[in-house]
Structure 1
Amino acid sequence: MEIFLANINHLESVSVLFDRYRIFYNQASNLEAAKKFLKERFENNDSVVFAATDNGELVGFTQLYPSFSSVSMKRVWILNDLYVEESYRRRGIAKLLMSVAEEYAKQSGAVRVILSTQISNITAQKLYEARDYIKNEEFYNYALPLQ
């Protein structure tokens, strides 16, 4: 198993996984849109993508988006996407991806990594809690739909 920092040269293979990730969250498959979206992230340095391979086959990825905490005046990383191919799950790949992402965040001087998941995604919640992520019970999360 190898975890590496993906870049524009990995666009084709990461896009396939990104599309499958979106399908997991009940979105229609749209490989071309996934490719366009990721290409923009790579070209604009909007995110950091770590990918996992097994014998040269891409089997998972995580994507971090940068943000900041005004109160602490430090960087924050949003672990927005984490996906492992179904046939490779329960092999520790998600843990490895998270570990590399967390180390990257520490090295960048970030004050924290934040993430969210669906209430029904118990498997993910167990993983996050096992890695010492704390469920925020002090704040409500709000979203304003614009489209």
Structure 2
Amino acid sequence: MKILQANVKHLDQLIPLFNGYRMFYKQPDDPEKAKVFLKDRFEQNDSVIFMAFTSTGKAVGFTQLYPTFSSVSAQKRHILNDLFILKEHRGNGFGEALLTRAKQFVRDENSKGLTLETETNNPAQYLYERLGWKKDEHLFHYSWEV
């Protein structure tokens, strides 16, 4: 297993993973949209993506972090927005390895921490809790869509 920080050279390997992630969340199959979105992230340098590879070099998962800031703590934070492992490779430690690498990146960046949100029925919650993530018991999250 290998975890690497992705760059534009990984785009062709990342597109099917990102497209699969979007389809998991009931979005249409659209590799071109995935390509444009990811290419923009690399070119604008506004997210950090880590990819998981098998020992044979097959890309099997990724996580994507977005920087944000906390006015209250006056510190940078990161949002762990995406975590996806190909179904046939789940349960083999790739998710844990990606989360561990994300935590190390945040430490290296002197960021306050990581935040994520997940659907209530997402089985990955057990992984998050096992790795020390805590549910926010004090805040509700709201969203507004155009």
Per the normalisation by structure 2, the TM-score is 0.97
Tell me which amino acid in the other structure corresponds to 1:4: L
1:141 aligns with 2:141: yes
- Find the counterpart in structure 2 of residue 131 from structure 1: 131
User: Aligned with 1:118: secondary structure?
Assistant: coil
- Find the counterpart in structure 1 of residue 88 from structure 2: 87
Q: Distance in 2 between matches of 1:134 and 1:35?
A: 33
Alignment of 1:1-147 (within 5 A): 1-54=1-54, 55-121=56-122, 123-146=123-146
Tell me which amino acid in the other structure corresponds to 2:47: S
Q: Distance in 1 between matches of 2:59 and 2:127?
A: 21
How many correspondences in the alignment? 145
Q: Which ranges of 4 or more aligned residues in structure 1 deviate by more than 3 Å?
A: none
Structure 1: unaligned runs, 5 residues or longer: none
User: Structure 1, residues 112-137: CA drift from partner, whole Å, max 9, x if none?
Assistant: 1000100111x111111111111012
CA shift for structure 1 position 73 = 1.0
User: Structure 1, residues 36-65: CA drift from partner, whole Å, max 9, x if none?
Assistant: 000000000010000011111100000000
